[in-house]
C-alpha cells in the first residue's frame, strides 16, 4: 500500500507541475487509485460516483447564487449601494474609504464572491476616490480587503463548497459568517480612520443633508431588501439554502429588469453563459474532489493522518495555528475552491478529531482564504483591481493591501480564540 500511495502522490505532483487543471488532476488520481485497489472492474465506481454526486441536491444552490450575483453586478446595483454608503459615511475620517468597506459588506450579501464584490464596488469607488485625491494605495487596499468580505458574509459560494465537501449545514455556515465578516469590516474601517487621523488621508468631504441620505436609500431600497429576504428567510427557517437561492435569483431578475430596468431580456443569454462557466468549473472541482476523497478513504489516509497529528506533542490550538499557516501558504498558489478540495479531506478529520466544531472551522478557513485572494502570485482580487485601474502597477496594489493584512491576521486570531463569535447566531436558528 505504501508503494501505491507513493505512486499516487508522484502522479499528483507531476500533473500539478505540468499545469493540468486541478479538477482533472483529482479525477486522474482517483481513477488510478481505484484501479490499484479494485482493478479494471472497479472503474464502475468512477461513473457511479459522478452520477450520485452530480445529483446532490445541495449543489443546486451554487448556480442560483452565482446567477443572482452576476445579475446584480450587471444590473448596476453596486453603484446604488456605494452611493448609500458614501452618503451616510463620507463625513467620518477617511469617509470614502470607510464607505467602500460599507458598500463591499452590503454587496457581499448579494454577490457571494470576493471577485464580484471587488470588481463591482471597485468600478464605482476607484474613479470616485481618485478624483477626490485619496491616496491610490489606500484606495486599492480598501477595495481588495472589502472584496474579500464576500468569502464570509452570506450567501458565500466558498461556504457552499465547504458545506458540500464536509457535510456541514450550509444554512448554519451562512449565518455563522455574519459576525466574523462584520468584525473584519470594522477592523478595516478602524485602520482607515487611524490613517486619516495620522494624516495619510487629508481629503475633507462635504456633509450630505438628511434629504440626500434618505434619497440614496430610496434609490437602492429594492436591491437592499434582497439581503433581509434571502438571509433572514434562512435564519428564520422559511427557506433552505437552495430555496433561498431560488428566491434570490427570481427577485434579482425582478429588481434589475422590472424596477431599475437596467437589464433587458437580450442580456439574459450572457448572464446565463457566465453562470454556466463558473458553475461548471466548481462542479468539476467538486466531482473530482469527491472521487479523490473516495480513494483517500479506500487507503484510510484521513485516519492515518489524524492519528499521526493527534500524537504530536502539540496543543489542539497549536495544531489549528499550524493548519492555518499551511492554508495561508497554499493560498498563495491556488484559488480558494481548489485549496479546499485539495486540503479539506485531510484537514477536516483532524480538526473534528481534536473536538473542534466543523462550522467554526469553516469560518476560520474563510478568514484565511480572505487573505489568500489578496496574496500573490494567484490573488485574484489583485488582478481584478489591476484591470480596473490601468494607471497603477501590481506592486501598487500589493503595497496597498499589506496594511490590511494586519487587520486580517488580528481578525483570524480573534475568530480562533473566541469560537462563540461564529457559533452564537447558528445556535439561535
Dihedrals phi, psi of 315, to nearest 5 degrees: -70, 155
Domain presence at residue 294: no
Name, in order, each residue with C-beta under 8 angstroms of 408's C-beta and a sequence gap of 6 or more. 145, 148, 184, 187, 367, 370, 371
How many helices and strands, by DSSP H and E, does the chain display?
21, 0
Q: How far is residue 273 CA from its own chain's centroid?
A: 21
Confidence at 377, pLDDT banded by 50, 70, 90: low
Do 241 and 159 lie in a common domain?
yes
Higher pLDDT, 140 or 361: 361
Q: What is the DSSP letter of 261?
A: -
Q: How many residues does the chain have?
A: 429
Do 69 and 6 lie in a common domain?
no
Q: Does residue 351 carry a pLDDT above 80?
A: yes
Interval 18-27: pLDDT, tens: 878 777 888 8
By C-alpha distance, which of 308, 392, 387 is closest to 353?
Answer: 308
Q: Are 411 and 180 in contact (CB under 8 A)?
A: yes
Q: Does residue 334 carry a pLDDT above 80?
A: no
Do 319 and 251 lie in a common domain?
yes
Q: Which of 12, 27, 55 is the last residue before a domain boundary?
A: 55
Domain presence at residue 419: yes
Interval 385-428: pLDDT, tens: 777 777 777 788 888 888 898 899 999 999 999 999 999 999 88
Name, in order, each residue with C-beta under 8 angstroms of 121's C-beta and a sequence gap of 6 or more. 78, 81, 82, 100, 103, 104, 107, 143, 146, 147
Q: Which of 34, 55, 76 is the last residue before a domain boundary?
A: 55
Torsion, Cα 93 94 99 100, to 10 degrees, reads -160
Domain presence at residue 287: no
Q: Which grid cell sits at 63?
A: 448556480
Do 42 and 188 lie in a common domain?
no
19-28, 41-50, 120-129: range with lowest mean pLDDT: 41-50
- Mean pLDDT, to the nearest integer, of 150-158? 85
Dihedrals phi, psi of 376, to nearest 5 degrees: -70, 155
Domain presence at residue 291: no
Q: Are 287 and 54 in contact (CB under 8 A)?
A: yes
Domain presence at residue 226: yes
The reported pLDDT for the residue numbered 60 is 82
Q: How far apart are CA 247 and CA 231, in angstroms?
A: 11
Higher pLDDT, 6 or 63: 63
Q: How far apart are CA 63 and CA 61, in angstroms?
A: 6
Q: Which of 85-99, 266-280, 312-326 has the highest mean pLDDT?
A: 266-280
**Omega before residue 423 within 30° of 0, cis:** no
Q: Does residue 236 carry a pLDDT above 80?
A: yes
Interval 128-145: pLDDT, tens: 888 888 888 888 888 888
- Domain hosting residue 25, numbered range: 1-55
Do 241 and 117 lie in a common domain?
yes
Q: How far is CA 19 from CA 12, 16, 159, in A?
A: 11, 5, 26
Q: Are 43 and 27 in contact (CB under 8 A)?
A: no
Confidence at 200, pLDDT banded by 50, 70, 90: confident
Q: How far apart are CA 100 and CA 388, in angstroms?
A: 15
- Mean pLDDT, to the nearest integer, of 234-256? 87
By CB neighbour count within 10 A (0-12 exposed, 13-18 middle, 19+ buried), where does 275 fall? buried
Q: Looking at the 3D structure of the chain, how many domains does it have? A: 2
Q: Are 61 and 244 in contact (CB under 8 A)?
A: yes
Confidence at 42, pLDDT banded by 50, 70, 90: low
Q: How far is CA 414 from CA 192, 258, 272, 334, in A?
A: 20, 43, 39, 25
Do 18 and 41 lie in a common domain?
yes
Do 100 and 152 lie in a common domain?
yes
By C-alpha distance, which of 101, 100, 120 is closest to 110?
Answer: 120
Q: Which grid cell sits at 182?
A: 462584520
- Mean pLDDT, to the nearest integer, of 366-381? 77
Q: Does residue 159 carry a pLDDT above 80?
A: yes
In the block, cell 452530480 appears at 54
Q: What is the DSSP letter of 260?
A: S
Q: Are 326 and 319 in contact (CB under 8 A)?
A: no
Do 112 and 219 lie in a common domain?
yes
Interval 275-309: pLDDT, tens: 888 888 888 887 887 778 778 777 777 777 777 77
Q: Side-chain half-sphere of 267: how many Cα atoms within 13 Å?
A: 14
Burial letters 60-69, b for 16+ CB under 10 A, else e: ebbbbbbbbb
Domain presence at residue 359: yes
Do 118 and 215 lie in a common domain?
yes
Do 244 and 348 lie in a common domain?
yes
Domain presence at residue 290: no
Amino acid at each position: 500500500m505504501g508503494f501505491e500511495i507513493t505512486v499516487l502522490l508522484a502522479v499528483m505532483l507531476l500533473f500539478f507541475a505540468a499545469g493540468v487543471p486541478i479538477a482533472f488532476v483529482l479525477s486522474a488520481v482517483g481513477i488510478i487509485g481505484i484501479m490499484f485497489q479494485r482493478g479494471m472492474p472497479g472503474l464502475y465506481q468512477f461513473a457511479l460516483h459522478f452520477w450520485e454526486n452530480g445529483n446532490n441536491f445541495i449543489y443546486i444552490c451554487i448556480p442560483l447564487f452565482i446567477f443572482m450575483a452576476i445579475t446584480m453586478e450587471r444590473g448596476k446595483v453596486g453603484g446604488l449601494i456605494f452611493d448609500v454608503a458614501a452618503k451616510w459615511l463620507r463625513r467620518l475620517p477617511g469617509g470614502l474609504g470607510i464607505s467602500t468597506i460599507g458598500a463591499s459588506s452590503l454587496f457581499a450579501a448579494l454577490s457571494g464572491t470576493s471577485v464580484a464584490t471587488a470588481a463591482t464596488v471597485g468600478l464605482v469607488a476607484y474613479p470616485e476616490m481618485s478624483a477626490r485625491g485619496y491616496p491610490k494605495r489606500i484606495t486599492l487596499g480598501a477595495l481588495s480587503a472589502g472584496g474579500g468580505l464576500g468569502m464570509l458574509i452570506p450567501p458565500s459560494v466558498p461556504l457552499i463548497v465547504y458545506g458540500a465537501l464536509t457535510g456541514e449545514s450550509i444554512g448554519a455556515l451562512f449565518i455563522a459568517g455574519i459576525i466574523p465578516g462584520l468584525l473584519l469590516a470594522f477592523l478595516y474601517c478602524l485602520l482607515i480612520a487611524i490613517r486619516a487621523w495620522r494624516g495619510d488621508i487629508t481629503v475633507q468631504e462635504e456633509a450630505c443633508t438628511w434629504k440626500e441620505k434618505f434619497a440614496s436609500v430610496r434609490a437602492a431600497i429594492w436591491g437592499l431588501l434582497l439581503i433581509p429576504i434571502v438571509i433572514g428567510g434562512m435564519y428564520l427557517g422559511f427557506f433552505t439554502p437552495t430555496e433561498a437561492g431560488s428566491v434570490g435569483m427570481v427577485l434579482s431578475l425582478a429588481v434589475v429588469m422590472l424596477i431599475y430596468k437596467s437589464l433587458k431580456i437580450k442580456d439574459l443569454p450572457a448572464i446565463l453563459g457566465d453562470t454556466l462557466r463558473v458553475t461548471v468549473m466548481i462542479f468539476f472541482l467538486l466531482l473530482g474532489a469527491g472521487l479523490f476523497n473516495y480513494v483517500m478513504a479506500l487507503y484510510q489516509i484521513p485516519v492515518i493522518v489524524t492519528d499521526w497529528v493527534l500524537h504530536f506533542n502539540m496543543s489542539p490550538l497549536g495544531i489549528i495555528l499550524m493548519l492555518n499557516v499551511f492554508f495561508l501558504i497554499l493560498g498563495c498558489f491556488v484559488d480558494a475552491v481548489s485549496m479546499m478540495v485539495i486540503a479539506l479531506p485531510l484537514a477536516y478529520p483532524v480538526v473534528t478529531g481534536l473536538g473542534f466544531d466543523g462550522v467554526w472551522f469553516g469560518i476560520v478557513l474563510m478568514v484565511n482564504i480572505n487573505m489568500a485572494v489578496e496574496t500573490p502570485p494567484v490573488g485574484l482580487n489583485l488582478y481584478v483591481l489591476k484591470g480596473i485601474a490601468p494607471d497603477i502597477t501590481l506592486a501598487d496594489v500589493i503595497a496597498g493591501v499589506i496594511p490590511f493584512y494586519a487587520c486580517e491576521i488580528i481578525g483570524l486570531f480573534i475568530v480562533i480564540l473566541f469560537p462563540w463569535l461564529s457559533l452564537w447566531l447558528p445556535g439561535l436558528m
